[in-house]
A and B are shown apart, each in its own frame.
Chain A
Amino acid sequence: MGSGKSSLVLRYVKGQFFDYQASTVGAAFLTKTLPELNVKFEIWDTAGQERYHSLAPMYYRGAAAAIIVYDITSPDSFTRAKSWVRELQRQGSPNMIMALTGNKADLEGQRAVTVEEAQAYAAENGLFYIETSAKTAANVNQLFEEIARKLPKPEAVPRPPQGGIVLSESQQAQNQKKSSCC
């Protein structure tokens, strides 16, 4: 089962949550504007299924930020999150903001990845760390707002080199990256 990437984005952008959320095929694109911060998020919700792994660079290339999501009830998903972090460190743009997100925090009883462990890993790798629940909406806005705050001011953002994603002055691109579990 996925770690909840689509659920997080849907909660954030549309305020919805589905107990049965279909696994993402390919990728999905969503946007949300935060006028008070003068930010427009352009979010790629990528597929966690292994066969789409090779598509990922297309989405994180040139992104201003990436969110790597794991499921706090699944140690395996945490392992995969770490491998995504390594990949993004190697291949992503050097200034990319990375957030490590432990999702499904509402399932405290089934927790398999401790806060301490994840926090230590995040600190070591210079990642922003937060636990969220797409289901209860806990910390979801905080996650995205924190990223918005961390983004460089619009003037300072160079236009991305390739023509794929067009950003206007007041926009920031954010690539939603993931780690999927089982």
Chain B
Amino acid sequence: MDAEEPVLGSAVVEGSAGSVSGSRSAFPPADVRPATDTYDDEDDDDGAASVGEPADDDDEPAGSDGAAVLAEGLAEAEGLAEAEGLAEGSEASAAASRREAHAALDGSGPSVSPPHDGESVEAIEAAVASLALQKHPPRARRQGSGSPHRTSTGDAEAAEAGGPSTATHTGDGRRASDHAAVADGGESEASTSGAGAEDAPTQWHTFPRHFFILSSSGKPIYSYNGDEDSLVGLSALISALISVVQNQGDAVQHIRSGSTLIVFMLHGPLYFVAASSCGEPATALRKQLELMYGQLVLIVTTGLERIIQRNPSYDVRSLLDGVGGVLSALADHMASDPAYLLSAHKPLPVPAADRAAISALLSEAVRQSGAVYGLLMADTYVVAMSRAKQQPPLHPDDLLLLANFVMCNNAYRHGHGEAFSPVCLPHFNADAFLHAYIHYLDASSGLYLVLLSGSAEAFHQLSSGRAWLEEQAAVRGLTPRLRALRPPEHVPASGGAADDRRRPPQQQQQQQQHLNVLSVENLPRPLGGRFGHTALWSYGVRFTALQQAVFSPPCHLHRSPEGAAQLASCYAQLHSLLHSPASPARPNKLAWFADSRAALVASRERDMEVYMVCDPMTDKATAGALMEALRRHFSDRGIAADVTLTPAAASA
């Protein structure tokens, strides 16, 4: 039995020769130095075919013609392919595919099908048609700001990101084949016509969002809806996907079928697929897939990829017990909290003096225990963080993934002993584990401490570091203040992550007083006021230099699960508008989007990105004034001190 058990630890040992681990430790401690980033953390990675630029009259010349925009978009895609180095096969052939794709997009070039993948593209179309997910309840009808729709695939993208959802099936089918044309560089018969949507045979077509992970040999690894075995019926899609992706590298990153957008991502022998009819832009889905990959790495390191590479037929699911739950919780989280898009730490508002006192204690605990990082968190929010000398700042994505991992295991919260678990922080070192000491301050609170060490033997040191911190907090009278801290109430968008912290509203209010500083009601005029008194409904601010972001607690419109999902999708659209310009040389500074449900505004300046969701009646002048007022408010040092971590805590 032992002989047939491939063990991650041993795989990892191979992969990290030269780590400082003693040979006794099967899980090698991470070299306490960061690996170079394994995936790009830049935010403007866009799909090759996604060049649509929903009109933004402040930045975009009004009548820019389709072909020109496409050419720019493709240039961007090419740059990206090179930067990522994802393309399989020779550079030359990848470049050739891109040229062909370009020609097809352009509509004027010769439509030459690449010889080898025409068939598989048909297969993809067919499979995709059968996979078409049920239409999401009609979303807000976005009217853009008056510029005519361009007749390009990019426009399909734009139209879906913000366009009318009343499009007919024919129209949708048209779009699907447009995208297919991107893939095969040839025919764009409207042959798929979206007909599969109604009679899709797969059981999970009823879900508006779907994620799955496959190995390159077609073995199912994870499925968001249903179990992995439900993926077996997708072999047509899988084989088509694999051959197209292998032939064209990352030229095929997403495909649209009906109202469903399907995004692919490759990581070594792992294939990630997201399908959604909820209207997230491709950039958002792609970021979600990247984070899902990161979550997988957090639990098993890249050792998993090495195992599959060595033995493609090995069923790695025996090594992934319980991982599905963590991935699904992440997917649920991302559906309701758009902060993942910003790659920013989310500080919990805490009075500056308290935060300073807690941070000092945490730093000392880290020093005493020999930890490399120390974190005091409330759900996914940071109360304080500290790191050993010479360690780089933690990457915000790593922190989100770690938080999700901790929150998934209720044994941590309910204090079933002192928890000690290997975790891998993908941006820190994707090949090896750190060892995490995880401790909730008390079971009822969402507040927990994580001390991370490079050594698997560090448990007792970390444990006494934690004991020291609790003792000191008590001595200094900080404990009750710490226990009163609560993460903002989280609304699970799809009912996935159950929240066991329901409290009577009054108690809630008391406990969340520290959060009031962010609520719209308490902002100064003209921003603030009760619902209906101010045009501002919701906002998010990203402090660029600090890599931190804050969001207002949702107004009552967005407190239901559907509302939360809607709000998250608003932010995702704004983010995509701001960060996926047709020409990367001219990043968008301002994005504006209005419809009958809300007016969405975002701006990007050197120091700050601001996102606002406003009353739909808001005109541009008012929105501009609000934007300016928000910027001024959060530039105030006193405000910033309470709502952000000091640069010292975050990065020094």
Contacts and interface: CB of A to CB of B under 8 A. Distances in A.
Nearest to B22: A162
A51 B320 contact: yes
Contact of B7 (A27, A30, A54): A54
Nearest to B436: A26
Given A21-B411, A29-B463, A9 B417 contact: yes
- Counting chain B residues whose Cβ lies within 8 A of the other chain, the interface size class is 35 or more
B233 to A, nearest CB: 25
A87 B422 CA distance: 22
Interface centre among B321, B456, B457 (most CB of A within 10 A): B321
Given A51-B321, A58-B24, A26 B420 contact: yes
B86 interface: no
B318 interface: yes
A48 to B, nearest CB: 9
A165 B319 CA distance: 28
A52 B456 CA distance: 13
Nearest to A27: B420
Nearest to A47: B421
Given A29-B463, A164-B460, A57 B418 contact: no
A49 interface: yes
Interface string A32-50: 0000000000010100011
A45 B10 CA distance: 22
Interface residues of A, number: 37
A21 B409 CA distance: 10
Interface in B1-44: 1-2, 5, 7-10, 24-27
Given A50-B318, A50-B319, A57-B26, A164 B416 contact: no
B420 A49 contact: no
Nearest to A164: B457
A9 B417 CA distance: 9
Contacts of A162: 457
A22 B24 contact: no
Contacts of B300: 51
B8 A51 contact: yes
Given A83-B1, A164-B457, A26 B321 contact: no
Contacts of A164: 457, 459-460
A6 interface: yes
A68 to B, nearest CB: 14
A23 B7 contact: no
Interface in B397-430: 409-411, 416-422
Contact of A30 (B24, B417, B456): B417
Contacts of B463: 29
B322 interface: yes
A87 B2 contact: yes
B422 A55 contact: yes
Contacts of A22: 409-411
B416 A6 contact: yes
Given A54-B10, A58-B24, A164-B457, A29 B422 contact: no
A28 B420 CA distance: 6
Contacts of A165: 460
A112 interface: no
Contacts of B456: 55, 58
B2 A10 contact: no
A27 B418 CA distance: 8
Interface string A47-75: 00111111111100100000000000000
A54 B417 contact: no
Contacts of A86: 2
Nearest to A50: B318
A166 to B, nearest CB: 6
Q: Which 7 A-B pairs have the closest CB atoms?
A: A26-B421, A54-B9, A28-B417, A54-B26, A30-B417, A54-B7, A22-B411
5 contacts: A6-B411, A25-B419, A28-B418, A51-B321, A164-B459
